[in-house]
Amino acid sequence: MAEDVAIIGIGIHPFGRHDSTGMEQGAHAAREALRDAGCEWSDVQYAFGGSSAAGNADTMVSTLGLTGLPFINVANGCATGGSSLISAYNALNAGAADIVMAIGFDKHPKGAFDPDPASFGLGRWYGDTGLMLTTQFFGMKIQRYMHQYGISPSTLAKVAVKNFENGSKNPNAWRRKPMTEEEVLNSLMLSNPLTQYMFCSPGEGGVALVLARGEVAKKFTKKPVYLRSAVLRSRPFGSFEVFNSWLSPDRGDSPSVGAAAAAFKMAGMGPDDIDIAQLQDTESGAEIMHMAETGFCKDGEQEDMLQSGETRLDGRLPINTDGGCLANGEPIGASGLRQVYESALQLRGDAGDHQVPKKIRTAFTHVYGAPGISACTVLSN
């Protein structure tokens, strides 16, 4: 059943800082995806889309065309893009449509996010007293992980160096300048042990995907990329998440563990079958921990993998081949779809300067965010 869903068109608005609105960037991505698929907006029978801070996605029918199609707005925090994709996948599998679009875009002001405690079920005191910062969570999660599994600051920096290098080869990335390990380590300490260049920044961008049922896909493209699975999970008891005023000493898995395992199971594949991976790199430590949480290595093995370059473009398992969130920034609504866009681009062999040199057949994507949600996909030719 899973081989029935194909990505037939991909579109992106470059990530970074722009004069246009987030919505305009989303509409641009939608037009690009239609052009890539060789179809018209009027061919699209269902759409799912969302942003966190740039408006209701369905508003863009005024610029794409008032065709009367069902367009559902999706708002699911950092998994908004992933949730749109899963909704599209389910709509196709349910037979509700033959051609569906998933759109994600966003535009955030400069600087760290400033969420409202009440929207996360927390008392006002939590924000008042300076605990309501995602950056603190990331610092404390990797701090303990480094202590437990022997990850070095050099390895943290190498994640950023790798992702900025990949970004420098990607014309749609925001940060195009490669950086040295020393520059990363010596940049401003924002939340110990994480420095400024180990963190991604809130930014702007848009991505759209045109998906179709398998038999329909072949009419549109010679290079369909199949979505083998798409899974979303919320947090189980004992996970360690952003904005937790308490944790249980009875520790449990992160939602990424469950989402990845379910995505692999649904696709009938395992981590060893995957050729490239896009893993949420909100900061360097996140990419390292997510490598283990998604099953690509055991806790602690990342130290050798990063030091020996295994996850670089020319390595055994290239990770964040487009530069990840570190080089692309984090427009919340768009990030999950950016990972799928990049996977499809690589699988088609169309990634240009940042195309991985080895022959690839499969790809994996993983997004993670507040308040403890993860979405994973497995893709293949």
Partner 1 sequence: MTTQVPVVSELFTWPADEPQLIGTFFPESGVTVFPQAKACPRTASQNGERVLLPRRGTLWSWTIQGFLPKSPPYAGPETPATFKPYGVGYIQLGDQVIVESRLTTSDPDVLKIGMEMELVIIPFNKDADGNEIVTYAFAPVKK
Q: Is 222 in the site for partner 1 (CB under 8 A)?
A: no
Minimum CB distance to partner 1 smaller for 141 or for 158? 141
Q: Which stretch binds partner 1 (CB under 8 A): 192-200, 217-225, 300-308, 368-376?
A: 192-200
Q: Is 75 in the site for partner 1 (CB under 8 A)?
A: no
Among 115, 295, 324, 369, binds partner 1 (CB under 8 A): 115
Strand partners, 369: 373
Q: How far apart are CA 273 and CA 246, in angstroms?
A: 38
Minimum CB distance to partner 1 smaller for 248 or for 307? 248
Q: Is 124 in the site for partner 1 (CB under 8 A)?
A: yes
Q: Which stretch binds partner 1 (CB under 8 A): 24-32, 188-196, 290-298, 353-361?
A: 188-196
Quote the least distance from Cβ 373 to partner 1, whole Å: 16
Q: Is 190 in the site for partner 1 (CB under 8 A)?
A: yes
Query: What separation in angstroms does the CA of 377 have from each of 139, 226, 333?
Result: 27, 10, 16
Quote the least distance from Cβ 247 to partner 1, whole Å: 4
Q: Is 150 in the site for partner 1 (CB under 8 A)?
A: no
Instruction: Match 């801070």 to its residue by tokens.
Output: 53
Minimum CB distance to partner 1 smaller for 2 or for 120? 120
Q: Which two tokens stand for residue 112?
A: 């760290």
Cβ atoms of 215 and 354 within 8 Å: the answer is no
Strand partners, 349: none
Q: Is 247 in the site for partner 1 (CB under 8 A)?
A: yes
Cβ within 8 Å of residue 371, ≥6 positions away? 77, 120, 235, 241, 242, 243
Quote the least distance from Cβ 241 to partner 1, whole Å: 11
Q: How far apart are CA 66 and CA 273, in angstroms?
A: 43
Amino acid (1-letter code) at residue 331:
P
Among 3, 40, 116, 350, binds partner 1 (CB under 8 A): 116
Minimum CB distance to partner 1 smaller for 19 or for 246? 246
Among 21, 90, 187, 244, binds partner 1 (CB under 8 A): 244
- Three-class secondary structure of residue 48 per DSSP: strand
Q: What's the CA angle centered on 85, arms 277 and 322, to 5 degrees?
A: 30
Quote the least distance from Cβ 89 to partner 1, whole Å: 30
Q: How far apart are CA 44 and CA 269, in angstroms?
A: 31
CB count, 10 Å around CB of 110? 8
Binding residues for partner 1, rule: CB under 8 A, are 111-112, 114-117, 123-133, 135-136, 139-141, 143-144, 147, 188-194, 237, 244-249
